[in-house]
């Protein structure tokens, strides 16, 4: 639902570029979490491309476990940390 809104925004604003940041919770090795974060970001990118957004406007980066939205060490925090964030630039 949120990805559809982001996709529609991008389709209506063709000069906007987006950095998709993949994030993970702290479980798993650092290397595993960097790969998982990248896969998460690439999945969101693929969805937006499928909506018709030009791939030239979509960039990805993985922060793995290094950028937690919630620093606590429990299921609720881990769920918040498994996410993509979208940074919009014109």
Q: What is the pLDDT of residues 30-47, one digit of tens each?
A: 999 999 999 999 999 999
Q: What is the pLDDT of residues 37-77, one digit of tens each?
A: 999 999 999 999 999 999 999 999 999 999 999 999 999 99
Which residues neighbour 44 within 8 Å (Cβ) at sequence distance 6 or greater?
3, 20, 22, 84, 86
Give residue 42's pLDDT.
Answer: 99
Q: Show the domain range for 63.
A: 2-89
The pTM of the full predicted model, rounded to 2 decimals, is 0.93
18-43: burial string, b at 16+ Cβ within 10 Å, e else: bebbbbbbeeeeeeebbbbbbebbbe
**Vertex 33, ends 28 and 36: CA angle to 5°?**
120
Q: State the CATH number of the domain containing residue 43.
A: 3.30.1330.60
- Residue 90: the pLDDT is 72
> Number of structural domains, the chain?
1
Q: Give the span between the Cα atoms of 88 and 90, in whole angstroms.
A: 7
- pLDDT value for 89: 85
């Amino acid at each position: 639902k949120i990805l559809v809104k982001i996709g529609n925004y991008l389709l209506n604003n063709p000069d906007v570029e987006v950095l998709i940041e993949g994030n993970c919770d702290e479980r798993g090795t650092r290397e595993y979490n960097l790969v998982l974060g990248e896969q998460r970001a690439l999945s969101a990118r693929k969805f937006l491309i499928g909506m018709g957004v030009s791939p030239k406007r979509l960039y990805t980066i993985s922060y793995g476990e290094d950028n937690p939205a919630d620093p606590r060490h429990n299921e609720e925090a881990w769920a918040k940390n498994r996410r993509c964030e979208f940074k919009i630039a014109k």
